[in-house]
């Protein structure tokens, strides 16, 4: 898979407090906020029917199952994190065309959500959204 450019955000899962308390273990049943894990929009036909990255014109988003490794780079600072698939998401089609930039480094469309443990390695949780690239090596 060639590196995919887009946007990264974060989500909670597993045992949690507050509004996250109902999050559960995700589509794979293994998701934990404290683990290096992520949600991917194409984990199955059922997942893809919900996330619909094609609706935003995204091609090349490979089908990957639970436990598959991706590496996400924050384009604002070059920080990189390796994570495994634990859930289906983000719901890409709900934000088609959305664009996030840090200076001239930009990403369009939501392609990956990281757990808080993973996102906080590459950015502050208070940023909420960052341009990123995602690859498999």
Partner 1 sequence: MHQTLDRRRLLATAALGGVVGATGLGSLAPEAAFAADAVAVEPGMPDPNFAEGRISKISGNMLLVTGSDTVLHSIRITDGTSIWKLHPTTFDRVAVGDGLYARGVRLPDGTLAADSVWVNIVNLHAHIASVGRNVLHLDHKGQRIVAHVVTGRSAAVYNGTPAVSDMSLLRVGRHVQVLGAWHPDTNEIDIATVYAAA
Residue span 108-127 as binding mask against partner 1, x where in contact by CB under 8 A, dash where not: x-------xxx-xxxxxxxx
Instruction: Find the shortest distance in angstroms from Cβ 114 to partner 1.
Output: 11
Alpha carbon distances (Å) from 28 to 12, 77, 101, 102: 14, 30, 31, 33
Binding residues for partner 1, total number by CB under 8 A: 55
Q: Which of 53, 122, 23, 46 is nearest to 82 (CA)?
A: 122
Token look-up 């480094």 returns 105
Residue among 29, 57, 65, 128 that touches partner 1 (CB under 8 A): 128
By CB under 8 A, tell whether 75 contacts partner 1: no
Contact yes or no for 11/115 (Cβ under 8 A):
yes
For partner 1, the closer CB: 11 or 53: 11
Determine, following the binding rule CB under 8 A, whether residue 60 of this chain makes contact with partner 1: no
Residue 137, exposed/middle/buried by CB under 10 A (0-12, 13-18, 19+)? exposed
Q: Does 36 sit near partner 1 (CB under 8 A)? A: yes
- The 3-state DSSP class for residue 19 equals helix
Residues near partner 1 (CB under 8 A) are: 9-12, 14-23, 32-37, 67, 69, 74, 76-79, 82-84, 86, 90-91, 94-101, 108, 116-118, 120-129
């Amino acid at each position: 898979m060639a590196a995919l450019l887009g946007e990264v955000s974060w989500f909670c899962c597993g045992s949690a407090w507050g509004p996250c308390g109902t999050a559960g273990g995700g589509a794979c049943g293994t998701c934990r906020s404290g683990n290096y894990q992520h949600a991917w929009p194409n984990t199955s036909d059922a997942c893809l029917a919900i996330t619909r990255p094609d609706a935003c014109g995204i091609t090349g988003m490979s089908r990957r199952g639970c436990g598959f490794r991706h590496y996400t780079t924050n384009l604002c600072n070059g920080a990189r994190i390796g994570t495994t698939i634990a859930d289906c998401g983000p719901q890409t089609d709900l934000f088609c065309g959305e664009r996030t930039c840090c200076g001239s480094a930009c990403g369009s469309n939501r392609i990956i959500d990281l757990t808080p443990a993973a996102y906080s390695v590459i950015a502050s949780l208070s940023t909420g959204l960052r341009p990123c690239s995602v690859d498999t090596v």
